[in-house]
Structure 1
Amino acid sequence: MTNVFNQLAKTYDTPQRQALAETILTEIRPDFAEASDKTLLDYGGGTGLLSLPLASLVKEVELLDLSEEMSHLAQEKATIAGLENFTSFQGDLLGEQPALTPPDIVLMSLVLLHIPDTKEILTALYQQLTPGGQLILVDFDTNPLVSHPKVHSGFDQGQLQELLQAIGFTHIKSHTFHTADHLFMNQPASMFHLRATKPAIV
């Protein structure tokens, strides 16, 4: 998987992916209305299509991606843009990882579908978050038209909410916000936006 994304890195920011990123940004920007003192972890953030535009809304951004080429390109883009609060790392929470600042917000957009063990990665993100921290998750709704050995065919929002609750998250809310043709594996599909909170220490 890493090699595939290394090969894609230089040509990843297509007009279609940029347009989709804008759709997602329009949806999630309100989540950052009061985040000027927060640290954001963009997990699986690729070339920074989402977190680079969000950098002005938070105190610090750390992007973590398995692909060395993707993370390197994101850092190049941040340097060119003069963003001093943006750092990109190559790594994985389920394997060897760099020393990250405990994030107040974790963003994971169109990444969960690539990770075989959903519970394992969501638990790892829960453990990374600061008490009172927020998980922002964007992914595809369950799609019977999609079948691939290395990709989940979307997620049932209700089942995902139950899993997050079992892990320890609270105040879990989600809704479908975008539907389009050729959206997921070239099939008609819809995307959802989910928010969940790690309880603050009492």
Structure 2
Amino acid sequence: MGNTDKFEMIANTYDTPERIQIAKVSSDAIREYLVDAKGKTAIDFGSGTGLLGMNLLGDFHSVLFLDTSPNMINQIKQKISEFNIQNADTLCFDFEKEDLSDLRVDYIFMAQVLLHIADYELVLSRLYDVLNEGGHLLIVDFDKNENVASDLVHNGFQQDELTGKMTKIGYGNIQSKTFYTGSKIFMGQDASMFILDAQK
């Protein structure tokens, strides 16, 4: 997945106060969209060190932390071991390179992951296949930001454009809204974040 090399290098120092705070507001936003999730399974997609998924462990029956960076996955394994977490597992895997035909879950959530994926429509299509019928994909990411210029990431997304692309893939009942604005949170720029909920 996009920028794996960069994340490999920063895995040990990834959990900064700023990232912990963003993960908290993101998980709070996701929680508003969960319905009877206590008995459901979930994937924290592009999990990094698991900041988002760790906040949501109590909301699901189980969470699979999935990332392309072995070092990030090792950070999560340490947390699972240290806190004796029973309902979590890890998987190092790259959806940009292949798909997982035998994996099925009820919820997939991701925060600030889509902007790192060059061909994100392909990945969204593969994630659609992983969802159980009626399952939900929850995306937290940055609104389109003209002040951000980078070869490494998309400069955010227009919610209606993303909704259109996801509808073509087959997602339905799509709803989205901007829920957070922060100072210097996107490549050193002030930015806003949206949450999008889509159903299979």
Question: Normalised by the shorter chain, which TM-score bucket?
Answer: over 0.9
Separation in 1, partners of 2:55, 2:178: 22
2:76 equivalent among 49, 59, 74: 74
- Tell me which residue corresponds to 2:105: 103
Q: Report the Cα offset of residue 70 of structure 1.
A: 0.2
Please state if 1:93 is matched with 2:95: yes
Separation in 1, partners of 2:138, 2:82: 27
2:164 equivalent among 154, 162, 168: 162
**Per-residue Cα deviation, 1:146-181 (whole angstroms, up to 9, x for no partner):** 010121000000000011111101100000000111
- Tell me which residue corresponds to 2:27: 25
Given the superposition, is the C-alpha separation of residues 98 and 6 from structure 1 closer, same or farther in structure 2, using an over 3 Å criterion? farther
Q: Report the Cα offset of residue 33 of structure 1.
A: 4.7
Q: Is the 8 A contact 2:96 2:119 kept in 1?
A: no
Please state if 1:186 is matched with 2:184: no
Normalised by the size of structure 2, how large is the TM-score?
Answer: 0.94
Given the superposition, is the C-alpha separation of residues 44 and 100 from structure 1 closer, same or farther in structure 2, using an over 3 Å criterion? farther
Instruction: Note the residue ranges of structure 2 that are not aligned, 5 or more in a row.
Output: none
Counting matched residue pairs gives 198
Q: Report the Cα offset of residue 123 of structure 1.
A: 0.5
Q: Is the 8 A contact 1:91 1:98 kept in 2?
A: no
Partner SS, residue 25 of structure 1: helix
Separation in 2, partners of 1:191, 1:81: 30
Which consecutive aligned stretches of 4+ in structure 1 deviate over 6 angstroms post-superposition? Answer: 97-100
Given the superposition, is the C-alpha separation of residues 90 and 60 from structure 1 closer, same or farther in structure 2, using an over 3 Å criterion? same
Separation in 2, partners of 1:157, 1:183: 19
Please state if 1:62 is matched with 2:64: yes
Greater shift, 77-86 or 10-19, is seen at: 77-86
Q: Is the 8 A contact 2:24 2:55 kept in 1?
A: no
Separation in 2, partners of 1:75, 1:100: 23
Separation in 2, partners of 1:94, 1:145: 27
Q: Is the 8 A contact 1:40 1:60 kept in 2?
A: yes
Q: State the structure with bigger RCO (CA 8 A, min sep 6), 1 or 2.
A: 2
Normalised by the size of structure 1, how large is the TM-score?
Answer: 0.94
**Per-residue Cα deviation, 1:20-45 (whole angstroms, up to 9, x for no partner):** 11111221112235101111011101
Separation in 2, partners of 1:179, 1:64: 27
Q: Is the 8 A contact 1:9 1:69 kept in 2?
A: yes
Greater shift, 9-18 or 77-86, is seen at: 77-86
- Tell me which residue corresponds to 2:17: 15
- Tell me which residue corresponds to 1:152: 154
RMSD (Å) for aligned C-alpha atoms: 1.4
